[in-house]
Structure 1
Amino acid sequence: MQWTIAELASEAAAAVERLGIEAPNGKVGEVPDVRMLRYYGSLGLLDRPADVRGRTAYYERRHLLQVIAVKRLQADGETLAQAQRRLLGRTDAELETIARLDEVKQRKRFWAQAPDLHSAPVSAPAPAEMSVGVHLAPGCTVLFTPERTLDAADLAAIRAAGRELLHTLERRGIVAAERNTP
């Protein structure tokens, strides 16, 4: 299969999303786009196009493997220079190993699952009970009524679990992308 650079960017973005590859520090662009792929090409992280017809360049599976491998290495904390050194001269099989295509990150998606109504409380909370809001980012606060007093570990765990929710809300344009990560 062959892709234009825009189609390759789309395929790579879908693969990064499906594999759950995320930048660890928020400084690295997570979703590959045409501009990023052109930059990778200028650094030698992406091979020259497999074919050029007229003014259109076409890319193949190897190019997709290179992009995914770079994103995996970045997610593991490596710089582009380190990725460049690691990927230089690699075979397709070696790129597949580095890209870890079979390793789909199992992220907890607690808000995407229907609650078990058989174990849920039947009655509404008493008026004396207090709801607690845990601020995740500007414009996003999780509100609930806890069964006990929260400690620092509880707050840290809630904020950590909320990162994926924030990422989804940002991707869908529901909350602003500029935020301080909890």
Structure 2
Amino acid sequence: MWTLDELLERVRAALAEAEYPGAPNGRVRDLPDRRAVRWYATTGLVDRPTGMRGRTALYGPRHLLQLVAVKRRQAEGRSLAQIQAELAGATDGTLAGIARVSDDLLAGGGAAPQPAPARTRFWAAPPVAVAAPIAAVPPGVAAPIAAAPAGVAAPEVAPLGEAAPADVSADVSADGATTTFAGVRLPGGVLLLLPAQPGPDELAAIRAAAAPLLDVLADRGLLTNP
């Protein structure tokens, strides 16, 4: 079995082995990425992971056939709805006929996947002291922040406002000083607290920069809805 990055590398190798014209328009990626695989699994185009190694999801040959078959059908100009109607629940034989993946790649041989570029392990740094975990709340409800550390007044969170660039805010007082934190909600139930209020451009940059960390958290099962 393979990790998600290893699976995606095999998809690239499989498409390179046989004629593949790529996506017919700029709205579709030539190759799937990690988020696409998770979305396909949500819609039933691709099976859920077959197992776990610790908190790392593992995938097998059927996932490879499914992803390559999806990309080949997209290259023919078919929509995801059409592809789903054809391939959801398809047998391995049907998928193999569409995907045309070599036996070497399916068996784990063939073009060996290249290791993924090393990422800066910014999440591995020693954690700073933080308050207790924040409880999950329904969308549109102010997120209560748990009890603050000793000597710090418990923060109060303002209700969510549609016009506000950040989702929540909190004022924390200590020794007469007050610090205002802005909270930015990220996918998977992650709440990022910032000591300054970000604007729309900063929010977009933050969410884009958070993608590698969210991928790591999702692979390890640490998100509520990866």
Equivalent position of 1:129 in the other structure: none
Q: Percent identity?
A: 50
How far apart, in 2, do the equivalents of 1:66 and 1:27 lie?
20
Equivalent position of 1:16 in the other structure: 15
Contact 1:65–1:96 (8 Å) recurs in 2: yes
Most deviating of 30-39 and 82-91: 30-39
Equivalent position of 1:31 in the other structure: 31
Equivalent position of 1:71 in the other structure: 71
Q: Secondary structure at the match of 1:17?
A: helix
* 1:143-172 C-alpha deviation (Å, 9 max, x unpaired): xxxxxxxxxxxxxxxxxxxxxxxxxxxxxx
Contact 1:50–1:58 (8 Å) recurs in 2: yes
Matched to 2:7, the amino acid is: L
Contact 1:13–1:33 (8 Å) recurs in 2: no
Contact 1:10–1:33 (8 Å) recurs in 2: no
Equivalent runs, 1:153-168 vs 2, <5 Å = none
Q: What is the number of equivalent residue pairs in this alignment?
A: 101
List gaps (5 residues or longer) in structure 2. Answer: 103-226
The CA RMSD over aligned residues, in Å, is 1.5
Contact 1:46–1:66 (8 Å) recurs in 2: yes
Shift of 1:37: 1.2
Equivalent position of 2:5 in the other structure: 6
Equivalent position of 2:54 in the other structure: 54
Equivalent position of 2:106 in the other structure: none
Shift of 1:49: 0.8
TM-score (norm 2): 0.42
More helix by share: 1
Matched to 1:69, the amino acid is: A
Runs of 4+, deviation exceeding 6 Å: none
